[in-house]
A and B are shown apart, each in its own frame.
Chain A
């Protein structure tokens, strides 16, 4: 795998930067090279936020992505802003609970996943991005569930470890939706 790139984008507060970090941690656990680059500066809750994650078997060139393999969009402005950057044959994943439009791209694999609704059912909106990471894993194979589980143990403080089963549940629901 050479410089496989993923853009995660949404509103500030939805957890896209954290989700990107979890993805990077999982890839690191699998022994890959990885970079994570956030939009930074005068960002605020309710404003837009995004991050770029690159995963590779070799030293990573640019951490900043022009043409991306995957876009994960959690709001409509993010989909509209980034969908044209997805490579032909790439992947677009949206939270279809929040983004009510489809993509204009016909040359990509498109996964509308109602991740906010699923997270709501699971009782914690923070799981919405985890559902989407499950979808990413199943659709792209760029990291595996086992690595994600290990990353949860690494990243979450011990007092939050009781949340790991629910995280994995959310992840698995994302995987199942791709398999359908």
Chain B
């Protein structure tokens, strides 16, 4: 199967999940991610798994909890308003330390909002959304090939760390087609899941829950979780650096935004302005270190954070830059995308300003 084929982002996610050994999919339709469900409905049965259209998003996430507790690779997908409904389940999954993969193909909010692409769920995805001290690994692909590879990886990470891994895309990535090259065999990391509820014949019974009435027990549990999160920050932070070696202006952008900025970098350099980009691939853990290092670099004059929201990731950029260099922002909302020209014009102005 050594041939690139043209596929829609949403369909690629579903295909990747099945290839990664996902055998339980629960969902509820919502634009712009419904093709994931559609593809699952057509193929999950053939793969010997279970596809179920739940009665609601809340039901779907709790079905994921159950299937995962029983040792299966399980996932759900939705778009922004539907993901809001799942937050309680996210917190319980974190508390019970269950592996799960959740896809959020973000649409414009708040409220019912619109169906067009946005990145307004950055805060919700990376800072919580549910209650309590917990983290989810959040991966932000920027192409259809990455949607495939990172969805497969999400299942491995979920099993390894026993936690929820979110694929955070947007309507553009879900709806667009691009060539994808599938591997002959997926790099599935098998996990023994000795904690799973598989029937206790011949062993002490397992228990999966998130209730700890004794405060010391709960604090110990929290400490354990935090230690796990610190280890993930060490090991699993991912980003792409583009032409940052000599950059005077460093763009920070993820997902679809980073693609638009990729063109802008080329155009700016044609006009003699050295622009580079840090593209966070994991939004949590966040690639703070590389941004801090660049901030200290004398050739870097300024940062420009570009997002499809009113300014969310910029808080993480500013924390990393820590006041050493100015951080500018450009964002669009409502489902609109910035044009290359508006970003380029802004960069030219920034470049003038910081070189005065």
Interface residues of A (CB under 8 A from B): 3, 21, 24-25, 28, 33-38, 40-42, 59-64, 66-67
**Chain B residues with CB below 8 A from A59, complex form:** 262
User: How many B residues touch A, CB cutoff 8 Å?
Assistant: 25
A21 contacts B6, CB within 8 Å? yes
**Chain A residues with CB below 8 A from B62, complex form:** none
Shortest C-beta distance, A65 to chain B (Å), equals: 10
Chain B minimum-CB-distance residue to A37: B176
B176 contacts A36, CB within 8 Å? yes
Indicate whether A61 sits within 8 Å of B6 (C-beta atoms), given known contacts A21-B177, A40-B115: no
Shortest C-beta distance, A2 to chain B (Å), equals: 8
**Residues 124-181 (chain B) with a chain A CB within 8 angstroms:** 171-172, 175-179
Query: Which of B85-93, B197-205, B293-301, B334-342 touches A?
Result: B334-342
CA distance A38 to B6 in the complex (A): 14
Centre residue among A34, A36, A40 by max chain B CB count within 10 A = A40
6 contacts across the A-B interface (CB closer than 8 A): A21-B177, A36-B176, A38-B176, A41-B32, A41-B116, A64-B256
Pick from B171, B178, B260, B341: contact of A61, CB below 8 A: B260
A28 contacts B4, CB within 8 Å? yes
A40 contacts B171, CB within 8 Å? yes
B340 contacts A66, CB within 8 Å? yes
Chain A minimum-CB-distance residue to B267: A61
Q: Is B183 an interface residue (CB 8 A)?
A: no
1/0 per position for B170-196, CB-CB distance to A under 8 A?
011001111100000000000000000
CA distance A24 to B337 in the complex (A): 22
A40 contacts B340, CB within 8 Å? no
**Chain B residues with CB below 8 A from A60, complex form:** 178, 259
Q: Is B322 an interface residue (CB 8 A)?
A: no
Indicate whether A62 sits within 8 Å of B4 (C-beta atoms), given known contacts A37-B175, A38-B175, A40-B171: no
**Residues 298-356 (chain B) with a chain A CB within 8 angstroms:** 337, 339-341
Indicate whether A62 sits within 8 Å of B31 (C-beta atoms), given known contacts A21-B6, A37-B172, A40-B175: no
Shortest C-beta distance, A83 to chain B (Å), equals: 17
Shortest C-beta distance, B84 to chain A (Å), equals: 20
